[in-house]
Chain A
Amino acid sequence: MTDVLRTLAADRREPLPAHVGGPGARLLAAAGTPGGFVFVLVGALIVATALANPNFADPGVLIRFLGRTAPIAIAAMGQYFVIVSGEFDLSMAAVVTTQVVMAGNLIGDDSSRILPVMVLMLLVGALIGLVNGLATTLLKVPSFIVTLGTMLALGGLVRYLTGGAATGNPVDEFRQIGRGAVEGVPVVDVIPYPLVIFAVLAVAASWLSRRPYGRSLVAAGDNPAATAVSGSSVWWLKTRAFILSSLSATVAGIILVGYAGVHPSVGQGYEFTAITAVVLGGVLLGGGRGWVLSAAAGAFALELLFTLLTALEVASTWRDTVQGLIIIVAVAAAGRAWQAGRRPRRTPSQSPQALGRTTTTPAAGTDKRENT
């Protein structure tokens, strides 16, 4: 399979603009793409927030901010894999809630249960992802609907089983994962554990997306038929993406138990936040375009935006409006940038053959944003 892709890659006619020139030029070119631009956005937002609230520039404050954004960034990386493969995961918030409540009720005051329960939580997370993935790929139910169903079912089940409220917080040792930090670090004073977890997972995710799996997944999102023809089993590629997504929600849940404590509303809105973050990171809904680290950067950009609005003392009721406007503008700009940075479109003269089966030509993938 890898060979097939390599051959395909070698067959490309023109390199992407981002692949031309030296490191400096490439960096500039990268910043011009939506996936690169989000890093510029993050930088700009940090500066703006620091100007609005000078305390924010304090390394200790900044590192804590990064730490608390880690769970959203982790969730966004998980969501990335699903979105880049052309699907949606709306069940993320329900998975986070499930894991949070499980941790509270199963670990309780007994620190010896931490490990077994964490293993169980990861298994449950993987299982939910497996169910989402199989229902999407084998039952052919759109992932939007599958994960909407999972969201309702899981959310209801957790509340039903717990009577709507968890017993209480789990032991402090477990909560340290989300609440604690590496102490005594020069300059920044502390490094929150969630940030460490995020860094490890970011490296892993970035590695994974460069592996054949990651590349096939993007290909599957861009053009499922061609990927299938090239010998990949699309259903298993996508199912693994759903498992990754649920697992990332599980990790976010573990961190959130520590950060915020057990409550059935922990994680609410995570599905839309994660999708928004991914989209802010320049990843195309509909699949086939985007970088995993940009998705994570999108999460940081989103949270920075909220912090900036607070620092600017924007009335709490107006924040939704500002957020909405920025999402639209950012995505519109990103869409333009992908168009600009894209390899020149095939000439229309080739299209007649494509007429019958457009989904198998690369050109169709570029218009995927029109097709959920």
Chain B
Amino acid sequence: MKRLSSTGIVVTVLVLVVVVGAVLTAAEGRNFFSIGNIRSILTLMSVLGFIAIGQTLVILVGSLDLSVPYVASLTSVLAGGVMAGQTGNVLPAVLVALGVAAAIGLANGLIVSRLGVHGFVATLGTGLVISGYLATNYQGNHGSAPRSFRLVGATQVGPVPVSWLIMVGCALAAIWMLRRTRLGHHLYAVGGNPEIARMSGIRTWVPVVAAHVLCSVLTALAGLLLLARLSVGSPTIGSQGGYDLMSIAAVVLGGTLLAGGKGNVAGTLAGVAIFAVLDNVMGVMQVNPFLRDVIRGVVIVAAVAVYARREIDRRPAPFDRPGARTPSLQEASQS
């Protein structure tokens, strides 16, 4: 317990939330672990999960992405339009969605790294640009997904939705990328301290751009999943979910430093799961929707506070922190 890693703490919090949730659900005369309930939680996790994985990469490299809701909406209407209900169009639609998202990510990354605009402002800006485009060109729902594509959103293996499995697959791929590839290490290095990263020969803009592209592409996957679930493209679906702030909250809840350079995807998934369980339990208990926001707000701050306190206690021994690979990584914990 004493040497619990940050991810360990998040997982502990998650277990705690699950236990409390199970008890409260039982008090309502329901079974928390029933197939329907587990499926509901995992479904709620899927969309935010994709986006939060991407957001983790962007935050790790020291930036932010506030454009995610609009990217999700845009990809959902674009893909829906290309599909137009035809199974044969699924592949081109997916490619269009991912391609457009990658281009947006590229733009975000270049604005942040080459023009030197803070990620908050850059992506707020691109988000507004996309939002104007959506409002002008899509009045209401657009296009439709064929049945074959809708199955992605509706199929389960036991209680586990396929969409959740894909999301976890992406998470594992991201974890692998962060741990095993040069790009992953550079991402941490640039996020930890761009100056030092630059001096040690890293072209600092590369990881920044890569993280933004990956984030937008993962967000496009979320948009495609939403298309599969809704069966139509919706120009407002991203804003409906409030995915910008919630994904950032999930990332920080998962133990990733908002300043960048330290954190991991597994913690983010646990953060997303905490939100999903919280929402699920509040739904079962029929908590007043206004009070739900109050509880969400308090839980976010309280949970991050628990984690942040631990960080302070751990300060004296920075070197055996997990993920601390290069000296520059330790820097991040000080900021």
A and B touch in the complex (CB under 8 A): yes
How many whole Å from A362's CB to the nearest CB in chain B? Answer: 12
Kindly report which residue of chain A lies nearest to residue B251, judged by CB atoms: A145
Give the residues in chain B near A284, CB-CB below 8 Å. Answer: 118
Give the residues in chain B near A371, CB-CB below 8 Å. Answer: 62, 259-260, 335
Q: With A145-B304, A156-B293, A276-B124 in contact, is A140–B129 under 8 Å at CB?
A: no
Asked if B291 lies at the interface with its beta carbon under 8 angstroms from chain A, I say: yes
B301 touches A332 (CB 8 A): no
Give the residues in chain A near B177, CB-CB below 8 Å. Answer: none
Contact residues on B (Cβ < 8 Å of other chain), bracket:
35 or more
Asked if A306 lies at the interface with its beta carbon under 8 angstroms from chain B, I say: no
Interface string of A342-372 (1 = CB under 8 A from B): 0000001001000111110001100101111
Give the residues in chain B near A348, CB-CB below 8 Å. Answer: 199
Q: Is the interface of A mostly helix, strand, loop or mixed?
A: helix
For A321, give its contact among B129, B294, B311, B327 (CB under 8 Å): B129
Asked if A320 lies at the interface with its beta carbon under 8 angstroms from chain B, I say: yes
Q: With A164-B290, A272-B124 in contact, is A149–B116 under 8 Å at CB?
A: no
Asked if B125 lies at the interface with its beta carbon under 8 angstroms from chain A, I say: yes
Asked if B175 lies at the interface with its beta carbon under 8 angstroms from chain A, I say: no
Q: With A331-B118, A335-B117, A355-B327 in contact, is A142–B294 under 8 Å at CB?
A: no
Asked if A265 lies at the interface with its beta carbon under 8 angstroms from chain B, I say: no
Q: Chain A: residues with CB nearer than 8 A to chain B?
A: 88, 90, 135, 139-142, 144-146, 148-157, 159-160, 164, 225, 272, 275-276, 279, 284-286, 315, 317-325, 327-328, 331-332, 335-336, 339, 348, 351, 355-359, 363-364, 367, 369-372
A141 touches B132 (CB 8 A): no
B297 touches A327 (CB 8 A): no
Give the residues in chain B near A320, CB-CB below 8 Å. Answer: 128-129, 131-132, 135
B132 touches A332 (CB 8 A): no
A359 touches B196 (CB 8 A): no
A155 touches B64 (CB 8 A): no
Asked if B288 lies at the interface with its beta carbon under 8 angstroms from chain A, I say: yes
B118 touches A317 (CB 8 A): no
Q: Tell me, in angstroms, the Cα distance from A370 to B193 when the chains sit together.
A: 9
What 15 new A-B contacts, CB under 8 Å, besides A142-B258, A325-B129, A372-B258? A90-B245, A139-B309, A141-B301, A141-B305, A145-B258, A149-B296, A153-B294, A317-B132, A324-B125, A324-B129, A324-B130, A328-B125, A331-B117, A335-B116, A355-B196
